Amino acid sequence: MSDMYIRVAEEENEEPMEIPSEDDGTVLLSSVAAQFPGACGLRYRNPETQCMRGVRLVEGVLHAPENDWGNLVYVVNYPKDNKRKMDEIESAVKVKRGFQKTSDLIVLGLPWKTTEQDLKDYFTTFGEVIMVQVKRDTATGNSKGFGFVRFTDYETQTKVVSQRHMIDGRWCDCKLPNSKSSPDEPMRSRKIFYFMQYGEVTDVFIPKPFRAFAFVTFADDQVWPSDK
DNA sequence: GTTGAGCGTT
């Protein structure tokens, strides 16, 4: 009985992992938790009733149903609190995918000759454009050498802000404007949830101006993404 | 008729 393993998976349809049992046929919860951090128990689907059943757990020791682990795949239980966090992660992902607002971007370094049509033609190659502006002297009509652009999709905005742009022969920069009309930055608290699955987050730093990356500090010095 | 870091007449 010293070389027995039971098969355990994160979810019913996922790749099982073999977890060693003890000499008396039990399995230590700590053995499960070593492979599935945060685990608080096991469950399995009863072949007769097709219902999920919990595995008996007494003082950190998991006991085989009917004194035989059989060839079943056991599924890891996590505390409800963890489940709640996972829901928050999923909703945060939805926020990123669907409800992220765009803002006007300032375009610096434009050639004097560049028109709004030129700007629209250029930026449309990245994605759908809501509007473009070239700022001009009201008296002369001459370009001031900068303008604004707004995109439909936040993904497009992120892409555009993260690189430089060759427009009519000059390198230009797109940034979030300092001044008005930027309904941004309620994202700090949301972004944290992306990393909560990897460990406790102690700090999040998002560079200003926005440069499409950020620094996340963990309490633990060894955090790795799960390999799914 | 010029210029080259910045921040938006409506």
Count: domains in chain A: 3
Distance between the alpha carbon (CA) of A144 and the C1' atom of B4, Å: 10
Residues A163 and A185 in one domain: no
Distance between the alpha carbon (CA) of A135 and the C1' atom of B8, Å: 8
What is the reported pLDDT for A73? 96
The neighbour count for residue A102, using CB atoms within 10 Å, is 19
Tens of pLDDT along chain A (228 residues) come to 457 999 999 999 899 999 999 999 999 999 999 999 889 999 999 999 999 999 999 999 999 999 899 999 999 999 886 666 666 666 665 555 556 789 999 999 999 999 999 999 999 999 999 999 999 999 999 999 999 999 999 999 999 999 999 999 999 999 999 976 545 444 444 444 455 666 666 666 666 555 566 666 666 666 555 444
> Residue A144, CB, less than 7 Å from strand B?
yes
> Residue A209, CB, less than 7 Å from strand B?
yes
What is the reported pLDDT for A228? 41
Residues A190 and A220 in one domain: yes
- The H or E element spanning position A29 is helix A29-35
Q: In sequence order, what are the residues at sequence separation of 6 or more whose Cβ sits closer than 8 angstroms to the Cβ of residue A80? A: none
C1'-nearest nucleotide to the CA of A103:
B8
What is the reported pLDDT for A2? 52
> Residue A199, CB, less than 7 Å from strand B?
no
> Taking the CA atoms of chain A, what radius of gyration do you get in angstroms?
27
DSSP string, A41-89: EEEEE-TTT--EEEPEEETTEEE-GGG--TTPEEEEE--HHHHHHHHHH
Residues A138 and A192 in one domain: no
Domain end, chosen from A80, A97, A114, is at A97
C1'-nearest nucleotide to the CA of A176:
B7
- pTM surpassing 0.75? no
Query: Which residue segment(s) compose the domain that A130 sits in?
Result: 101-177
* Residue burial A6-35, b: 16+ Cβ < 10 Å; e: rest: bbbebeeeeeebebebeeeebbebebbeee
Distance CA A150, CA A80 (A): 42
Residues A169 and A188 in one domain: no
> Residue A178, CB, less than 7 Å from strand B?
yes
Distance between the alpha carbon (CA) of A138 and the C1' atom of B4, Å: 19
What is the reported pLDDT for A186? 46
Residues A112 and A171 in one domain: yes
- Written as six digits, the tokens of A147 are 């303008």
Q: How far apart are the first and last CA of chain A?
A: 32
Distance between the alpha carbon (CA) of A177 and the C1' atom of B4, Å: 18
Domain end, chosen from A177, A194, A217, is at A177
Tokens 């009985």, located at residue:
A1
Task: State the angle between helix axes of A188-196 and A80-98 in degrees (0 to 180), rounded to the nearest 10.
Answer: 130
> Residue A179, CB, less than 7 Å from strand B?
yes
C1'-nearest nucleotide to the CA of A110:
B4
What is the reported pLDDT for A79? 86
Distance between the alpha carbon (CA) of A206 and the C1' atom of B10, Å: 34
User: Which residue is closest, via its CA, to the C1' of B6?
Assistant: A108
Residue A218: CATH number of its domain:
3.30.70.330
Distance CA A70, CA A73 (A): 9
Residues A11 and A86 in one domain: yes
Closest Cα partner for A167 from A206, A129, A198, A125? Answer: A125
